[in-house]
Structure 1
């Protein structure tokens, strides 16, 4: 029984997984194999990259960050999600996949644009617009079914990477809050930030001294320098309709 199962390994699902895993929740990401972001020739409106960034490189780094946070991954496609007990949603959910044994999780985050057929058994309230289906959510990404959330484009958010990342983080925080884990802020702060004011370090926070800060900065720079030392050989994925033609 996982604490959280995230369906979709794109930007919103990965962002949610970083937060839930860092909060100590056992987090599994079921990755369908490709994010729509991989179709971008160049990602050029994401803050922090003045001249843009290769979208596939960006996805690689976010996946690495999720793994470093403690999230685990399984490649595959979820075909249905159902409650383990119709009368007790706190008992969690069973997720059937195309291959392998069923998965079990206390909470499910749908982040799988544009596939949402697996949610039909839950009656979360899907709305069709053209050929796509969207899931109704509240301001925090909660659906009509307790323990089930939706993040990113599937929840009607704009089709922008920065928005997907932000909404995924917001939904991850909602799942953390509903899980009632001991959590305050996902902050790493200088030594003495809290204790220097006579306060305990809050749950989810960490104080580090200057030596630790420099060591982490060195590691962060090494990671980025290595990631961008050579061009990525992967090319954008073309829209399926173009491939068919």
Structure 2
């Protein structure tokens, strides 16, 4: 049984997975195949990219970051989620997919805009607006069912990449808190930041010396230079209602 199963491999789901995996939770992302962000021609309002960034490149790097954090991925569509024990949600959940063996997880995060039909058996509190359904959540992304969360657009958040990423991180912190993982803050700080004040390094924090800081910086710069060395050949995915020649 996984600690966390995230349904949806878009921005919100990837953000959740980075934080939960780094917190030491066994994290699986069930990816439906393509994020809606892949329709974006140029992502130009995400902090840190003064001239914008190719949306598919951003997704590629974010997925890579989640993998390096320890998250694993499975391609497929979840068709239903049910509690293993309807009287005790702590027993976890069973996720049925279109193909393959059922998956089990202690906690489930819905991050799958715009599909949430698989949540119907749980009665989490879905609200219809036009042709879409949103999942009702509290400020931490918790639904009416203990152990089930929703992140990003499916949770009613605005349709912006930076908001989806931020909400995914916020929901991840709620998941981490509810799991009782030994966690304080996800910080990497200079050597002596805590110990220099007579404190122990808190859980999920790390102190590194300047040599290690420079090594990590070099590794990060090298990877980004490689990633942006050549343009991606992939083109944006058009909206399904638009015919393309």
Query: 1:162 corresponds to which residue?
Result: 162
Q: Secondary structure at the match of 1:90?
A: helix
| 1:77 aligned partner | 77
| SS in structure 1 of the partner of residue 106 of structure 2 | strand
Give the Å deviation of 1:17: 0.3
CA drift at 1:243: 3.3
Q: Distance in 2 between matches of 1:86 and 1:58?
A: 40
Runs of 4+ in 1 over 4 A off after TM superposition: none
Q: State how 1:88-237 maps to structure 2 within 5 Å.
A: 88-237=88-237
The residue that corresponds to 1:65 in the other structure is 65
Distance 2:60 2:243 in 1: 24
1:244 deviates by: 8.2
CA distance, structure 2, for counterparts of residue 97 and residue 105 of structure 1? 13
Q: CA RMSD in A?
A: 0.9
Aligned positions, number: 245
Distance of 1:98 and 1:200 partners within structure 2: 48
Aligned-residue offset at 1:229: 0.2
Aligned partner of residue 143 in structure 1, secondary structure: coil
1:35 equivalent in structure 2: 35
In the alignment, does 2:235 pair up with 1:240? no
- Equivalent residue of 2:182, what SS? coil
Give me the whole-angstrom Cα distance separating, in 2, the residues matched to 1:39 and 1:159: 13
Q: Which runs of 5+ in 2 are unaligned?
A: none
1:3 and 2:3 matched: yes
1:55 aligns to what?
55
Deviations 1:121-180 (A, max 9, x none): 000000000110000000010000000000000000000000000000000000000000
Aligned-partner Cα distance in 1 for 2:74–2:211: 36
1:231 Cα shift? 0.5
Superposed CA deviations along residues 52-89 of structure 1, whole A, max 9, x for unmatched, are 00000000000000000000000000000000011110
Distance 1:205 1:243 in 2: 50
Q: Following the alignment from structure 1 to structure 2, what is the Cα–Cα distance between the partners of residues 200 and 237?
A: 49
Q: Partners of 1:233 and 1:2 in 2: how far apart?
A: 36
Alpha-carbon distance between aligned partners in 2 of 1:223 and 1:127, rounded to the nearest angstrom: 42
**Secondary structure of the residue that 1:241 maps to in structure 2?**
coil
What residue in structure 2 maps to residue 44 of structure 1? 44
